[in-house]
Amino acid sequence: MPTKIIDLNRTKNYRSSLPLVIGYFGCVHKKHLELLTKHKVFNILTFKPFKIKKSHELYDFRTRLTYLQSFRPQNILVFSIEEDNLNGKQFIEKYLQKINPKRIVIGSNFCFGKDNCKVDILKKYFILDVIKYERKYSTTKIRCLIEQKKMKEANKLLYEPFFVCSKWVSGVKQGRKIGFPTINLIPNYKVNLPFGSYLSKIQIGKTIYPSVTFIGKSKTMNSKKTSFETHVIDKNIKPRTSFSARIQNNIKVRLFAYVDKVEKFKNINILKTKIRKTIVKAKKYFSYN
């Protein structure tokens, strides 16, 4: 059965004895994986974006929900703190006790309520599975690593490499004109990704291709608009003709390593040489021939 999304603020008398995994999940790192695989059948309680957390997220709310659904919980309960800003004890009594989960699965560093209650208060009411987190496992830490161009270090902490899910849009076809056709995406991430070139993999439908991705404004091409474009490393692939329209809204780009900053080259030929060198790096990185 598909996972149901339940608005906890507007749902009265919801009860479930299933284990309840609680977390904000601004991303899913390797310690979150322990929460999400602790029980085979479970529910998740997560939270809509609110002021304090918005600056720490990696992904937008819709992407977060879709990602959590991939772990196959029975239900995802969504709670808006901005609509009902309670202290910890009030939240327990008004919501958690009424849900009545068999047990609660939670990270050791989780805080809740406007008085920032620690996990220990839950022990008075519920059986707990507490997953101990090391300090490095935090969305804020991972976000900082990405923004400092330390993509490899960030990905070591994440459950899967940092990704962008988006739909395909028509670009100005500058890449095609110089022999490197690209797939142009509408970015929906919450991180301030540094402009430049990345080693990446693009997933179109169920197929994954090695690729190189450029984010920013091309100085050599005098671009005025920020772009997110990916070149597929496969001489047999011609993006517009090889991929059908039905998968254009089902594209995922995973970023593995930051390569180079945006530069202004004297002419197009130097730019093309630079792109070829980046492709060679990608082939070596992914062991692709």
Checking if the pLDDT of 167 tops 60, the result is yes
User: What integer is the mean pLDDT of 204-217?
Assistant: 89
Q: Which has more confidence, 283 or 222?
A: 283
**% of the chain residues with pLDDT over 90:** 61
What is the reported pLDDT for 249?
A: 66
> Which backbone phi and psi does 193 adopt, to 5 degrees?
-65, 130
Q: Which has more confidence, 194 or 52?
A: 194
What is the reported pLDDT for 191?
A: 87
What is the reported pLDDT for 176?
A: 66
Chain-centre distance for alpha carbon 272: 31
Checking if the pLDDT of 53 tops 90, the result is no
**% of the chain residues with pLDDT over 70:** 89
- Of 169, 182, 186, nearest to 239 by C-alpha is 182
Q: Which has more confidence, 198 or 271?
A: 198
Checking if the pLDDT of 39 tops 60, the result is yes
User: What integer is the mean pLDDT of 221-233?
Assistant: 82
> Which backbone phi and psi does 27 adopt, to 5 degrees?
-155, 180
Residue 112 in contact with residue 20, Cβ under 8 Å?
no
Checking if the pLDDT of 245 tops 90, the result is no
> Strands, E, within 115-195: which ranges?
128-131, 163-166, 168-169, 183-185
What three-state secondary structure class fits 119?
helix
167 sits in the region (left: phi over 0; alpha: psi -120 to 50; else beta) called: beta
Structural domains in the chain, CATH included, are: 4-139 (3.40.50.620), 161-285 (2.40.30.30)
Helices (H) and strands (E) in the chain, counts: 10, 13
Contacts of 254 (CB under 8 A, 6+ apart): 160, 161, 162, 163, 200, 201, 202, 203
Name the least confident of 74-78, 95-99, 219-223, 269-273.
Answer: 219-223
**pLDDT tens string 65-106:** 999 999 999 999 999 999 999 999 999 999 999 999 999 999
Q: How confident is the model at residue 207 (pLDDT cuts 50, 70, 90)?
A: confident
Checking if the pLDDT of 178 tops 90, the result is no
Chain-centre distance for alpha carbon 45: 18
What is the reported pLDDT for 227?
A: 85
What is the reported pLDDT for 220?
A: 67
Residue 198 in contact with residue 257, Cβ under 8 Å?
yes
Checking if the pLDDT of 218 tops 70, the result is yes
Q: How far is CA 71 from CA 49, 54, 88, 194, in A?
A: 21, 23, 27, 30
Name the least confident of 60-69, 88-97, 137-146, 183-192.
Answer: 183-192
- Of 75, 67, 77, nearest to 32 by C-alpha is 67
What is the reported pLDDT for 46?
A: 97
Q: Within 10 Å of residue 222's Cβ, how many Cβ atoms?
A: 9
